[in-house]
Amino acid sequence: MGLPCTLFGHDLADPEIRRDVDRRENAMGVAKNELVAVRREVATCSRCGATEIVSEHTEVMGLGAATVVVTGGQAEEPLEDVVVDVELDESVPMELPSLSTDAGGEVEIHLPRVESTVTFTADHDAFPAVSETVSVDEAVEGGVELDLTPQRGALEIESRVGSLRRGGIDVDVSPIDGPATANADPGTVTTDGTGHTRIPDLPVGEYELTANPDVPAVETVETAESGTVQADTTTTVTLAVETSLPLAADKRERRAMIRERIEELAAADRDTAIPYYYATVLERVLDLVAAVEAAPERAVENDLDPDAVVDALLEATAEGTAIVADAMSDPGNIRLFRATDSLPDADVAWDGVVDLETFFERIANGAAYERERLRRRIGETDEFLDEMWSEVAETRPASAVHTRLRESMDDLGDDGLTTVARGYVGVCLLDAIESLFEIEPLRRRLDPGSTDGVADADS
């Protein structure tokens, strides 16, 4: 006690309530079902910190056992090792320890039998906590049931084979982490015709999605992705199955041979600007083989056998190469290319459109349509070349290719894919013929008389 308090007494602040609770024991040290609660009003001196008991009240309270049952999960079964916290209202001066449920999902908690309420809270890693507040009498006499329900969300799955969406794919879905492992079972879903499926009401957590579909004429590799489902949201996962089309050895050898012959078009000991230009057309078509090899699912999507598409492209490119090689070997062309050998080099590539999408459109139109299309384009190019006679001195590098394409019409055949592929290559070469006259470095070679230092090709 400080001197001021000794002289003048304590300066007591407003009293605060302090409670102490003890459980009575008998003479043998065994706890009775009774509690002794001591309620004290205690005031504290603002100067020296000394305390004084203003009032004190002692109450003896009986104890009652309340049974708490915790259930949950998919089958709402009893849950073991769930921590149950108990909180009495402010009128009861007692703190109770947290207890865990047994194998039957139960825990017994002793409560003071007073007119008061008590709150039970069940907490488990796989579920959001659940609380319930009841009167003490209700808890003791009827027990308390707590049902742990997992939070849920949805999973949206998109299935792809290579770069294309594909439906009818079986996707295995397995919980791998979080609450999902305790609340969800593995299962399989199938995507619809658009390559989508939605799984609603799915317990939150991480899932692994795997698929390895059987796609005709294409090899696939099992693909796995993971997705985390969150409460009240939709998680989208795209499952892209990788594909491959290993070319047979004979197809690889034939492709290499065709490419070598294409390269030979521009390997002569004379001006090769125009042969090189035609060679780039053929290279572009031959590259479609690699496109099918890299994405065979695009052929399958169009109900085509990727191997058959490759065979047709190889056959058509080989024939187109032979046509160009024969045309460039025309004696008049050889003389022209020797005469223009002094011109500056011009490695000009054809810039027309060649892609799988366009080629598949031609296949969808059918062989008869493509044959007629080629016949029509041959006629149009014939008229175009007639017009060019008056504008340039020499059209043989174009007319020789045109003539041989026209001759090839007689044996174009009616073999579906191959016919379409041959027609496709033919139209590409006809497009290149017309574009030839629009490219200045190449057009100069068709008008040697107007070029200083270049002799007449027919001399």
**Torsion angle defined by CA atoms of residues 88, 90, 95 and 101, in that order, rounded to the nearest 10 degrees:** 20
Query: What are the phi and psi torsion angles at 221 (to 5°)?
Result: -115, 130
DSSP bridge partners of 36: 22, 60
pLDDT at 14 over 90: no
Tokens found for residue 71: 């259930």
Task: Please tell me the predicted confidence (pLDDT) of residue 449.
Answer: 62
Task: Please tell me the predicted confidence (pLDDT) of residue 282.
Answer: 98
Mean pLDDT, the chain, integer? 87
Q: In degrees, to the nearest 5, what angle opens at C-alpha 357 toward C-alphas 160 and 429?
A: 155
Task: Please tell me the predicted confidence (pLDDT) of residue 25.
Answer: 56
Give the gyration radius of the chain's Cα atoms: 44
Task: Please tell me the predicted confidence (pLDDT) of residue 457.
Answer: 40
pLDDT per residue over 420-457, tens digit each? 999 999 999 999 999 999 999 999 999 866 544 344 44
Task: Please tell me the predicted confidence (pLDDT) of residue 58.
Answer: 75
How many C-beta neighbours within 10 Å does residue 294 have?
A: 15
Question: In the structure, what pLDDT confidence band is assigned to residue 6 with cuts at 50, 70 and 90?
Answer: low
pLDDT per residue over 268-316, tens digit each? 789 999 999 999 999 999 999 999 998 888 888 888 999 999 999 999 9
Question: What percentage of the chain carries pLDDT values higher than 90?
Answer: 58
How confident is the model over 229-235, as a mean pLDDT? 95
How confident is the model over 115-120, as a mean pLDDT? 88
Distance CA 112, CA 64 (A): 6
Between 353 and 243, residue with greater pLDDT: 353
Task: Please tell me the predicted confidence (pLDDT) of residue 126.
Answer: 77
Task: Please tell me the predicted confidence (pLDDT) of residue 3.
Answer: 65
How confident is the model over 254-267, as a mean pLDDT? 95
Question: In the structure, what pLDDT confidence band is assigned to residue 172 with cuts at 50, 70 and 90?
Answer: very high
Distance CA 399, CA 401 (A): 5
SS3 of residue 175 by DSSP: strand
SS3 of residue 96 by DSSP: coil
pLDDT at 85 over 90: yes
Question: In the structure, what pLDDT confidence band is assigned to residue 382 with cuts at 50, 70 and 90?
Answer: very high
Q: What does each C-alpha distance from 11 to 5, 41, 91, 94, 299 come to in angstroms?
A: 8, 16, 29, 31, 95
Q: Which amino acid is at 414?
A: D
pLDDT per residue over 89-114, tens digit each? 876 666 788 899 999 999 999 888 77
Task: Please tell me the predicted confidence (pLDDT) of residue 394.
Answer: 92
How confident is the model over 368-381, as a mean pLDDT? 93
70 closest CA partner among 111, 118, 124 = 124
Q: What does each C-alpha distance from 259 to 245, 252, 288, 419 come to in angstroms?
A: 20, 11, 13, 21
39 closest CA partner among 54, 26, 51, 25 = 54
pLDDT per residue over 249-260, tens digit each? 999 999 999 999
Distance CA 128, CA 174 (A): 21
Task: Please tell me the predicted confidence (pLDDT) of residue 29.
Answer: 45
